[in-house]
Amino acid sequence: MKTIIITEGKTKIETPQPENFRTRAGDYAPSLTKVFYNPLMEFCRDISISVAQTAARRFNGLRVCDPLAGVGVRGIRYANEVKGVTRAVVNDFCREAFELIRKNVTLNGLTGLIETRSTDANILLRENRGQFSFVDLDPFGSPAPFLDAACSSLGKRGMLALTATDTAPLSGTHVKTCLRRYGARPLRTEYCHETGIRILIGFAQRLAGLHEMALTPVLAHATQHYFRIYLAAERGAQRADEVLKKIGYLSHCSSCLRRSFTSGVATALPQNCECGEKLSHAGPLWLGKLIDGDFTREVLQDLSLRDFRLKHQELSLLSRCLEEAEGPPTFYDLNELAGQEKKSPPKMKDLLTRIRDRGYFASRTHFSPTGFRTDAPLEEILELIGTS
Ligand SMILES: [Zn+2]
């Protein structure tokens, strides 16, 4: 296997040559070769560094585990670039990956800080019950098979970071897969990626409930190809119960685009929309906030002081996340609503100002360039679009 050495953040990483891991579409291709390192995730990993730094500050130090590490880029970067890491375990079951992890730990002079392992991720996490304060699950596909063990490996307070690349099932392209994997019904709408993230969060929260652990999202972002979620973890049955109260269903009318939300899992759902059409439902899923404003502001502040290659794009994503932090679940698509009114879409900025002038919340959303989030009633939004 031919390898090259690349630099990400302040960390040097030896990895298989690009043709070994990148496909035409720039996607993960675990079937083509053993995938150790995806260069397209640098953006996502940089943000993780600032998230971990924020967590390290809040927890007074950080005990990190990267159980599905590939060549080790995430785990090694945490140990190398986050102040306050007191323990880091970097693991990959695959022997070739493990050999590269060991080389990379040495390459960065971190042999004293990082423990390298080559075992099954779930076994590693189980062996370290209650030992970690930051667990990063970065699998190819779904993190679902590792969530239970990850929860057990977290201490009294901690953070769970999740990547999911199975966005198609979670967003409603493969309904049966989503039902089987997450026990939840997805829904194909203009905001289906947000629904997918909420399904994944709800699933993780229900699993954490078994451990009397509350998982609360502090930051979540999505692209077409992956979801990334950071959840604050706290042990305690009461806290877990409070979180579970905010799990429920969303109902969507594909005729008038109205949405409604019902909290609770064993609960009756409305069958028909106010307009008379039959409603579609998605869930169970998380109905609470996706972004904690205070936490994300700290992440943004940390990132603004770093020297990342993609810093500008990363800062603009985090700013957009902050803008929409206080908004309600789901967003509207400007073009779709304008089409409904048979009008050409007004300027986004103007519409948002007019909605805010009426005393409602209104923001753009990082999920879509034509999306906007507001708690204004649909009639008022349509009226504003109709008279613009
Ligand atoms: Zn309707």
Question: Tokens standing for 125?
Answer: 């996490």
Model confidence at 40, in pLDDT bands (50, 70, 90)? confident
Residue 151, annotated as binding a ligand = no
- 162-178: per-residue pLDDT in tens? 999 999 999 999 999 99
Model confidence at 22, in pLDDT bands (50, 70, 90)? very low
Residue 47 contacts by C-beta under 8 Å, 6 or more apart in sequence? 221, 228, 299, 303, 314, 317, 318
Q: What is the whole-number distance in angstroms between the Cα of residue 347 and the centre of ligand 1?
A: 25
Q: What is the whole-number distance in angstroms between the Cα of residue 287 and the centre of ligand 1?
A: 20
Q: Are 350 and 387 in contact (CB under 8 A)?
A: no
Question: Tokens standing for 312?
Answer: 């500008």
Q: What is the whole-number distance in angstroms between the Cα of residue 352 and the centre of ligand 1?
A: 23
Model pLDDT, residue 345: 96
Model pLDDT, residue 17: 78
Q: What is the whole-number distance in angstroms between the Cα of residue 198 and the centre of ligand 1?
A: 23
Residue 192, annotated as binding a ligand = no
Q: What is the mean pLDDT of the chain?
A: 94
Residue 256, annotated as binding a ligand = yes
User: 3-class DSSP state for residue 226?
Assistant: coil
Q: What is the whole-number distance in angstroms between the Cα of residue 259 and the centre of ligand 1?
A: 8
Please give the angle made by the CA atoms of 338, 358 and 371, to the nearest 5 degrees: 35
Whose tokens are 């007191």? That residue is: 86
As beta bridge partners, residue 363 has 373
Q: What is the whole-number distance in angstroms between the Cα of residue 175 and the centre of ligand 1?
A: 23
- 308-338: per-residue pLDDT in tens? 999 999 999 999 999 999 999 999 999 999 9
Q: Which residues surround ligand 1, an ion (CB under 5 A)?
A: 253, 255-256, 258, 273, 275, 277
Residue 120, annotated as binding a ligand = yes
Q: Are 94 and 102 in contact (CB under 8 A)?
A: no
Q: Is residue 91's pLDDT more than 60?
A: yes
Q: Is residue 89's pLDDT more than 60?
A: yes
Q: What is the whole-number distance in angstroms between the Cα of residue 278 and the centre of ligand 1?
A: 8
Model pLDDT, residue 24: 41
Question: Tokens standing for 122?
Answer: 């779930």
As beta bridge partners, residue 374 has 362
Q: Is residue 266's pLDDT more than 90?
A: no
Distance in angstroms between the alpha carbons of the first and the last residue of the chain: 61
CA distance 203 to 262: 17
- Domains, the chain, ordered by start: 3-286 (3.40.50.150), 331-388 (3.30.56.70)
Q: What is the whole-number distance in angstroms between the Cα of residue 252 and the centre of ligand 1?
A: 8
Model confidence at 35, in pLDDT bands (50, 70, 90)? low
Model pLDDT, residue 30: 44
Q: What is the whole-number distance in angstroms between the Cα of residue 275 and the centre of ligand 1?
A: 4
Q: What is the whole-number distance in angstroms between the Cα of residue 373 and the centre of ligand 1?
A: 18
Q: What is the whole-number distance in angstroms between the Cα of residue 379 and the centre of ligand 1?
A: 11
Model confidence at 19, in pLDDT bands (50, 70, 90)? low
Q: Are 87 and 64 in contact (CB under 8 A)?
A: yes
Q: Is residue 27's pLDDT more than 90?
A: no
Whose tokens are 């070739």? That residue is: 96
b/e per residue 223-255 (b: at least 16 CB within 10 A) = eeebbbbbbbbbbeeebbeebbebbbbbbbbee
> Considering the entire predicted model, what is its pTM?
0.95
Residue 44, annotated as binding a ligand = no
Model confidence at 36, in pLDDT bands (50, 70, 90)? confident
**1-5, 7-11, 127-131, 161-165: segment of lowest average pLDDT:** 1-5
Tell me, rounded to whole angstroms, the distance of Cα 170 from its chain centroid: 12
Q: What is the whole-number distance in angstroms between the Cα of residue 258 and the centre of ligand 1?
A: 5
Across the range 246-256, mean pLDDT stands at 97
Q: What is the whole-number distance in angstroms between the Cα of residue 253 and the centre of ligand 1?
A: 5
Which runs of consecutive H residues, i.e. helices, occur in the chain?
42-59, 73-81, 95-107, 121-127, 144-153, 167-170, 175-182, 192-210, 237-244, 293-304, 311-324, 334-340, 348-357, 378-386
Q: What is the whole-number distance in angstroms between the Cα of residue 157 and the centre of ligand 1?
A: 43
Residue 275, annotated as binding a ligand = yes
Higher pLDDT, 22 or 174: 174
Residue 45, annotated as binding a ligand = yes
Q: What is the whole-number distance in angstroms between the Cα of residue 290 and the centre of ligand 1?
A: 26
Residue 245 contacts by C-beta under 8 Å, 6 or more apart in sequence? 263, 264
Across the range 290-307, mean pLDDT stands at 98
Q: What is the whole-number distance in angstroms between the Cα of residue 279 and the centre of ligand 1?
A: 7
Quick one: what percent of the chain has pLDDT higher than 90? 91
Q: What is the whole-number distance in angstroms between the Cα of residue 178 and the centre of ligand 1?
A: 25
Whose tokens are 């392992």? That residue is: 117
Q: What is the whole-number distance in angstroms between the Cα of residue 187 and the centre of ligand 1?
A: 16
Q: Is residue 26's pLDDT more than 60?
A: no
Model confidence at 33, in pLDDT bands (50, 70, 90)? very low
Q: What is the whole-number distance in angstroms between the Cα of residue 8 and the centre of ligand 1?
A: 49
As beta bridge partners, residue 163 has 228
